Chain A
Amino acid sequence: MTRFEYHKPHTIKEAIGLMESLENAKFIAGGTDVMVLIKRKKIAPAHLISLRNINDFSSIDIGDGLQIGGGVTHSDIVANEFIQKRYSALTDAAGKVGSRQIRNVATVSGNICNAAPSADTACPLLVLDADVKIAGPKGERQIPLDDFFLGAGRVDLGPGEVVTGFHLPPFGLNTGSAYIKHTRRQAMDLPMVGIAVRVTIRIGGSEIGCKDAFCTIDSISNILRRLEDEELRCEDVRIAMGVVAPRPVRTRKAEAALRGKVISEALFEEIAEIAAAEAQPRDSIRGEAWYRREMVKVLTKRAILISVDRVLRPDDMI
């Protein structure tokens, strides 16, 4: 392995100071991407600045939405019941990254900073309106995740800057979200398409409560048909797609076409068509472009249905 020095700062300030003073230095957290790059000789840093020992870096805090620390691992996300209930898309994604062994050390910040078009946590964080918290030599700043991605493997981080976590706004009980990772095999694979959806629903202006009709094992399609007269309205929606562009992207045309409308399965099909038309997938080793586009259509509709289902039939209601 290439030679490097190893540094273990205990504060972000110290970490940034090291990054400023050292030549050819790289931050390392879980190391599951950085170590592979070093072993493959893709990078040869002279210094590794570990973020493993930063104090209070791995906390998940509830209040004014959700604060996810920079050192939070995928396993930390999966284990958090509040995230599972209120930010379900993120749980869906975090539980599907790599293997158990990888998820135990790989951080969400690392997944985002690596900025692969296939990064599983990117689409959920996009639809959950996450802000990226950044610290650097010139102080702290917070920007929407959508502005953070600049291209494949490129993010808006200046010299010496480091991601210190994420802030997600609060969502009510009438919001549901989902992420679907489409892979060739069930485990240890990158997605050939990833779709995340968040919807906020309103029933005739009133809050949604438990109705006997929801507490069944019926399909969500049937339940939607039964509720046709209720005029369930989509108050707000986000749809994000992975692996269909150089970076994870939102499909704004599809979102606009759904926002404010009375929802139905037929409408979701139209929305899915729009998303598929907006996708720009390429032929690659994991799947051909035509197939990926077709799957964007299938999975967008499915992810919307799951999100709606999670509003109408939350787990603790059944």
Chain B
Amino acid sequence: MKEMKRYSLTLTVNNETHALVTPPNRTLLEVLRDDLQLTGTKEGCGEGACGYCTVLVDGQPVRSCLTLAVAMEGRKITTIEGLAQGGKLHPIQAAFVEHHAIQCGFCSPGMILTSYALLNNNPTPTEAEIRRAIAGNVCRCTGYAKIVKAVQSLAGEER
């Protein structure tokens, strides 16, 4: 098979721009983890069902495992590494720690980013709204109650 064309790509991740050269058949998840070493974003099912690979694109949560990196030119990507500022946890991350909402930790990056997008959009979500928002993020430790509590603790607070 003939050599695949490589594409020049500028990715903006956590407010930093990265110039990359990549074949087109790579997902955003692969480029984040393998090229940019941003391994906070996890791969679970790899086909859009589990939510572990969630990142924010222009502030909205998407599945990075179903997103081609070449489609992300000009978009603003936020990963879990982009939340903490100056070595200080983001209030959502702190709330997850405070409320023991992290067990094995594998779902946490996706859960936190999905919650972050929810709270930006709706600063005072009800429990039902929180549960609906994170419905696409699986926690196989089943620690949902504490995750919901952590998000609820921020409802109405300044972020």
Point out residues on A near B: beta carbons under 8 Å: 1-6, 8, 28, 31-32, 35-36, 39-40, 48, 50, 52, 75, 98-102, 104-105, 186-188
Contacts of A75 in B (CB 8 A): 60
Residues of B within 8 A of A102 (CB): 48, 63, 136
Q: Classify chain B: how many residues form its interface, as a range.
A: 20 to 34
Interface residues in B57-112 by Cβ distance below 8 A to A read: 57, 60-63, 65-68, 70-71
Given contacts A3-B25, A101-B51, contact A31 B66 (CB under 8 A): yes
* Contact (Cβ within 8 A) B70 A32: no
In the bound complex, do residue A101 and residue B114 qualify as a contact, i.e. CB atoms below 8 Å apart? Answer: yes
Min CB distance A306 to B, Å, is 19
| Nearest B residue to A39, CB-CB | B47
Q: Are A1 and B60 in contact (CB under 8 A)?
A: no
Interface centre among A40, A98, A188 (most CB of B within 10 A): A188
Q: Which residue of B lies closest to A31 (CB)?
A: B66
Measured in the bound complex, the distance between the Cα atoms of B70 and A35 in whole Å is 13
B133: interface (CB < 8 Å): yes
Q: Are A105 and B62 in contact (CB under 8 A)?
A: yes
In the complex, 25 of the A-B residue pairs with CB atoms within 8 angstroms, ordered by the A residue number, are A3-B23, A5-B24, A6-B7, A6-B24, A31-B68, A32-B48, A35-B67, A35-B68, A39-B47, A40-B47, A99-B135, A100-B117, A100-B133, A100-B136, A101-B54, A101-B61, A101-B62, A101-B114, A101-B136, A102-B48, A105-B62, A105-B66, A187-B135, A188-B135, A188-B136
Given A32-B66, A104-B62, A188-B136, 5 other A-B contacts at CB below 8 A? Answer: A36-B48, A36-B66, A99-B135, A100-B61, A100-B117
A40 to chain B, nearest CB (A): 7
Q: Given the complex, which residues of A lie within 8 Å of B66, measured CB to CB?
A: 31-32, 35-36, 105
Query: Would A105 and B135 be within 8 Å (CB), given that A5-B5, A32-B48, A188-B49 are in contact?
Result: no
Mask, B136-153, CB within 8 Å of A = 1, is: 110000000000000000
Given known A-B contacts A32-B66, A40-B47, A104-B62, A52 and B71 have beta carbons under 8 A apart: yes
A98 to B47: give the CA distance in the assembly, Å.
Answer: 12
Closest A-chain residue to B25, C-beta based? Answer: A1
Q: Which residue of the partner chain, among B47, B65, B67, B135, contacts A100 with CB atoms under 8 Å?
A: B135
Tell me if B26 counts as interface (CB < 8 A to partner A). Answer: yes
B67 to chain A, nearest CB (A): 7
The smallest beta-carbon distance between B69 and chain A, in angstroms, is 10
Q: Say yes or no: A104-B60 contact (C-beta < 8 A), given A35-B68, A36-B66, A39-B46.
A: yes
Q: In the complex, A5 Cα to B1 Cα: how many Å?
A: 13
Residue of A nearest to B30 (CB): A1
Cα–Cα, bound, A83→B113 (Å): 28
Which of B1, B61, B65, B136 is in CB contact (< 8 Å) with A187?
B136
A2 contacts across to B, CB distance below 8 A? 25
Neighbour of A186 across the interface among B54, B63, B133, B135, CB < 8 A: B135
Q: Check A98 against B24 for contact (C-beta < 8 Å).
A: no
6 A-B pairs with the lowest CB-CB distances in the bound complex, closest first: A99-B136, A187-B135, A6-B24, A35-B66, A1-B25, A104-B60
- For residue B19, CB closer than 8 A to chain A, the reply is no
- Give CA–CA (A6, B51) in the complex, Å: 25
Bitwise interface map of B from 116 to 142 toward A, beta carbon under 8 Å scored 1, else 0: 010000000000000011011100000
> Quick one: closest A residue to B118, CB to CB?
A100
Complex formed: what's the CA distance from A3 to B47 in Å?
Answer: 18
Partner of A1, one of B1, B26, B57: B26
Instruction: Determine the residue in chain A with the shortest Cβ distance to B54.
Output: A101
Chain B residues within 8 Å of A99, by CB? 51, 135-137
A62 to B63, CA, bound (A): 31
Q: Which residues of A contact B5 (CB under 8 A)?
A: 5
